[in-house]
Structure 1
Amino acid sequence: MGFNAPNGRAKEIVKNCLFRLIDRMMVKYTTFTLYSIENELVVVADEGICRSPMKVLIDSDVQLTVAPLNARYWELADYKDKLTATIGDQVVLSSDASWATRLLVGTPVMPTATGHSGAIPSNEECGIRDVWAHNLKDEFKIIRKIISKYNYVAMDTEFPGVVARPIGEFRSTADYQYQLLRCNVDLLRIIQLGLTFLDENGKPPAGSYSTWQFNFRFNLSEDMYAQDSIDLLQNSGIQFKKHEEEGIDPIDFAELLMTSGIILMENIKWLSFHSGYDFGYLIKLLTDQNLPNDESDFFELLKIYFPTVYDVKYLMKSCKNLKGGLQEVADQLELTRVGPQHQAGSDSLLTGMAFFKMREMFFEDNIDDGKYCGHLYGLGTSFAVNGNSFHDNGDNGSNS
């Protein structure tokens, strides 16, 4: 069935596809392209909306396949009868000049970092609070008020990649991974930190934000970075000009974090995903020093500042069939991302959601601290829990 003919059946099917797409993906804005092959519609969603293939049944003889824009497995050149559709203040479907129809009415289309109109919803719309230098103190006041009840803190960082490799002899693969982490964290600056606050049941604060995204000062003209990492972050909506002009001073942030009540406290449970680098940057912020030469000293600092840590990637070792990076795991757990991928706020929220879903599905809502607390995936040491010290050589794998 082709959809380039202006008939009622075709229009109705396409309209159903659009409504189903919005309902399923729970976004207000998106730009995508429709392709048709016989009885199958393929929707290619812009960056930031869809990260893995998804099929939606429209009716008994037509299904919708949603694919990421950059999916290598879709040979788009082979698809015929291309239809372009934009969701925003109007939706126009057109395969030729003779067929264009307005199907949906919404709010105005937003500009995005990639130049596609409406591809990435703002953090504010997604319930993620952006923090810059001007509102840093006010946002910490709110966090201090909620931390006693919402003491599960999911965390993620964005940083400018990997620019250096350690040389020499190493005791193990895990030792090499720590030295790789250490030399890069020492050289580079953090760009974003996302913190999501949840209660013991994984519920967010009612009627307010649950996720804060801290945006640090970063200057592309002065600071070191890996170009591929910066390209990825820019395509995800990070505005480096604003980071340069309005970004948070790391020392100001560290002072407020030290007095916030969310570190140095055993009752605060930190949730993370493959988080050696994440905690490396946080420890560097808090100590205002380079990381320790020895991995065991790093874990001693981790225990002091973050006494209770769960790494979701490490927990996955005990979860049958769970594998891959954060988005892949979320897809397997049937979780829906809120906000743009590769921004720290959205990634921290998804990390928290994944932890509670895994705890329910694989651990009967009870995670053994002696076995899992204090481990960071891919590193070879952990700190002692309840007087017991555990060692794991770690196996390096994909990050988020």
Structure 2
Amino acid sequence: MTYKPKYDNLMENPKIRRWFENLKAKSILTATVYRRTLGYYCELEKTTPEQLLTDMEKLEFRDNFLDFVRRLEKEGKAGSYIVRYKKVLRSWAKFNGIDIKLDVNIANENESPTLDNERVPSKEELSRLLRKATSRGRVSIPIMAFSGFRPETLGNYEGTDGLRLGDIKELKISDEIEFTKIPATIMVKTRLSKARNQYFSFIGEEGITYIKEYLEERKKNGEELTYESPLLQFDVRGTKKNDFMRTMLVTRDIREAITTAGLKMRPYVLRAYFSTALDIAESKGLISHPWRQFIMGHKGDIEARYSTNKRLPPDMIEEMRESYRKCLKFLETRISDVSEDNAKLFLQQQLLSAVGYKQEEIDKLDLSSVSNEDFQQLLRDKVAGAMSDNGAKQKVIPVNEIEQYISDGYDFEAVLPNGKAVMRLRF
């Protein structure tokens, strides 16, 4: 038996079909929700859409709707839920040339108790969620949590479009799955953007690892991958009715992982996780507000320039990539393996802190790209400034003289890369 959405029979009415198609031109999701809400309202009030148009011309329609609102409020329905009926009735009336004001106040109409009490998951919870997800879920979760995409971007409401492998610009498909640059760029075309603006975001090493493992699994199962292939593919055991996974199936993967992990949250909270991490990064000066807006898919200064020129200068894209890379420490859940580079980075951070740099200043520095000479100059500049401020209270001396200076009333502070030590006179 073929499944039909509830109140699909309303489409037999030409007026409703035209109203629905008009709403659909902008958003299929809005059109579907509005049709369902109109049908449910008529069911509750024991009326029809056509009869509503007749009643809307009368003053008592407002009174009847007011009684309807008060009844739902007494039943404990949220204001944000009740106000939807008001919006739908206005839309249905306006489309049919009827101007109704519906001056009915709804208590707490901007409050959503469920959403207000929802919190962003911690890194540990996100890590647990990833461990419990399927290989496909381990792709959709990072795309939302690390790149900030909406689930509709991965697969739209009808399953007719979604992210393709070719939208990951640094992905190379050959005998092996390779990425030529990390973080990689992921493009969102206009038709998949809620704001109807083309934009791009990035994804770092952890997310790329999950994508690579998932694609290798698909190749192993015999799928011939192309740049037009969907990023998310149907289960080989299932029945494929659409070219892409519908939004409902994308979020179902995530919901199942959430339940298995013993958590309670909506899939959409993963985008809030991304937004919160960028808030922290922006407060530390790691990413600018216009760039943050752009990779979240919001319209702003960068989006205007991008849509006008169709392409940002390569150097700006690289700067954005670098800013995103600095934000990854607030996004990714994996702890990097200890390596020579990591040990050097840790030592550099400790030295900078020892000579007086604040943590906020250190966070803004890209130490991985700072040469040894430049790093030593950073230390000398800070020490020279401290010497200027403190006079004889601080001294730079040969290491072999540390013991003598401690005896003379100085405290050891740090060893500099040039083999000298920083000492401070005790108060």
Please report the TM-score for the alignment, with normalisation by the length of structure 1.
0.21
TM-score calculated relative to the size of structure 2: 0.20
Larger Rg: 2
Higher helix share: 2
Q: Which has the higher contact order (CA 8 A, sep 6+)?
A: 1
By percentage of residues, which structure has more strand? Answer: 1
